[in-house]
Amino acid sequence: MTDRTPRGCFITLEGGEGTGKTTQIKHLCNRLAERGIETIQTREPGGTPAGEAVRNLLVSGDTDRWQPMSEALLNYAARVEHVTHTIAPALERGIWVVSDRFADSTMAYQGICQGVGRDRIETLHDTALGEFAPDLTLILDLPVETALERANRRNAGAPRSEDRFERMGQSFHERLRAAFLEIARADPARCQVIDANGTPEQVAARIWASVTRTFGI
């Protein structure tokens, strides 16, 4: 009998617009590779051809393009594809997966900030994915004014704008920041809040300390 390949670990980075998730995922995947850990970097919405098609529907256009429940359903349609075709197969092969956003974003954006409700999002998750969840979620936290300045610089001159959520206004983003912190408080065994102030290297060091402490690598 051959030994079964150990399951990979699933890490998600969460937070509001402009908190630096994409940059930090690159740092983290590089550090994991240095430890000899095979890793897949992915994102939501996205991660599969179907997910990327849904992403195009969600991140551009008028801010009132969708009803909040419609947004939640679109996110979960993409998420089922993502888990089925990308995340779960990699984990089964012993590959670690690091994702820019996952289910906590739907809870924060649509569930809490846009009024769909925690219970309805939890029911949607249970229906779509059951108990599937990340092993570790790192929530990058940054004052809203600073985060939106970063996001606006990132989007300036971009060939295809993905700024629909950035345009929802500062009060929305204040509520969003509070929502992510609320999620972290509700699930401290899985979620860790990372101070996203400072240089990319400083933030990466905080993330790496959290990952090494959690997984003992």
User: Over its length of 217 residues, how does the chain's per-residue pLDDT go in tens digits?
Assistant: 456 789 999 999 999 999 999 999 999 999 999 999 999 999 999 999 999 999 999 988 888 899 999 999 999 999 999 999 999 999 999 999 999 999 999 999 999 999 999 999 999 999 999 999 999 999 999 999 998 888 877 766 554 567 788 788 889 999 999 999 999 999 999 999 999 999 999 999 999 999 999 999 9
CA distance 67 to 82: 23
The rounded distance, in Å, linking the Cα atoms of 197 and 109 is 22
Would you state the pLDDT for residue 159? Answer: 46
pLDDT for the residue numbered 3: 63
- Cα–Cα dist 65/68, whole Å: 9
Tell me how far apart the alpha carbons of residues 29 and 40 are, in angstroms, rounded to a whole number.
Answer: 8
The 10 Å CB-count burial string (b at 16+, else e) for 150-168 is: bbeebbeeeeeebbbbbeb
Domains in the chain, ordered, with CATH?
Answer: 10-215 (3.40.50.300)
Q: Helices 200-215 and 21-34 meet at what angle, rounded to 10? A: 50
Residue 148: the pLDDT is: 84
Predicted model pTM: 0.92
